[in-house]
Amino acid sequence: MVTERQELDAMLTDGFEQHVLRVPRVQGTFLQKVSLGRRRQKVVRAFLRSNPVFRVISKGAPFELRAAKDLVAERWYLTDTEVNTAAHKLAKATHILLPESWEGSLKATHTYPGILPQAYLPLNTDAWESAKGQVQRQIGLSEDDLVVFHRKLTGGGIHDTPEIVNYDQAIRKMEVHFVENKESAAATDGSAWDLPVQATLFDGVLTGSTTLAAESVVQGVPTLLISKAKRGFLTYLADQPHFFHWNEDDLFDGRFTEMSNQWMDMMRNVRTSGRTPVVDETKAALNDLFGQPIP
């Protein structure tokens, strides 16, 4: 079951051997969400009757679990986003799987160490070591220049709008060269799925996206997250020296400049000392629960 979204359309063009059901994205006004939610449950329930399964694993999507009630023995609800409280309340799960760093009120039946990017990202730095200076050469800069991968959120998500900080003016005079990746463009061409790999080719990352920030930090990329978001996985990463998180609206009181200078110094230091990925037993723990993923 895959939500009808442009970036998922792009991913599925490569083909997928299993049966796939596309379901509508639940968005809009409250009444629209209720209508779409009911429609989604109805089509999912019919799909499950035709394609019986023993287990459903849902990441932050409660309607599939509600549809699967009385049809599927194991209904796993997996999430790492504390503020998605509506989904947490709607889910009809037999098992709730949360990271050990979870800071929300939802109670887990099972937990896993680390954070989700450690389960799906390659935690080695060989590619970056061999590609040092490549981006600078491609865009005609000196290899001494810092080149940063920048992704700005547009807002409008189910929980990200109140967390967005307008930092456009504050970063204009930074002594780095930004390579932009817009959220709207990524949705159209499917490049959102390549973001974690793309980020490793740069000296650093600046973003308002908590997901991209986490994916970059676990791979050892010096990352500056500008967002008022609070997440357990951000607390988990807070001790990493290459992670910098600014969570206030005011970016002109001097403290932000100090943090951004520390972030740029870290990028220069990492060039010399190398990157250090954040390693935990996340992937092994999830494999123990669910078995090896489908290739």
Angle (nearest 5°) at CA 200 between 197 and 202: 130
pLDDT, position 24:
59
The structure's pTM equals 0.85
pLDDT, position 114:
97
Nearby residues of 172 by Cβ (< 8 Å), 6 or more positions away: none
pLDDT, position 143:
81
Overall CATH class of domain 120-273:
alpha beta
Q: What are phi and psi of 149, to 5 degrees?
A: -80, 120
pLDDT, position 80:
93
pLDDT, position 103:
96
pLDDT, position 117:
93
- Tell me the one-letter amino acid at 38: R
Domain ranges of the chain: 2-114+285-290, 120-273
Ranges of the chain whose pLDDT falls below 70: 1-35, 127, 154-160, 182-194, 293-295
Tell me the CB-side half-sphere exposure of residue 263, using CA atoms within 13 A: 29
Q: What are phi and psi of 265, to 5 degrees?
A: -60, -40
Q: For residue 91, with 0-12 CB atoms within 10 Å meaning exposed, 13-18 middle and 19 or more buried, which class applies?
A: buried
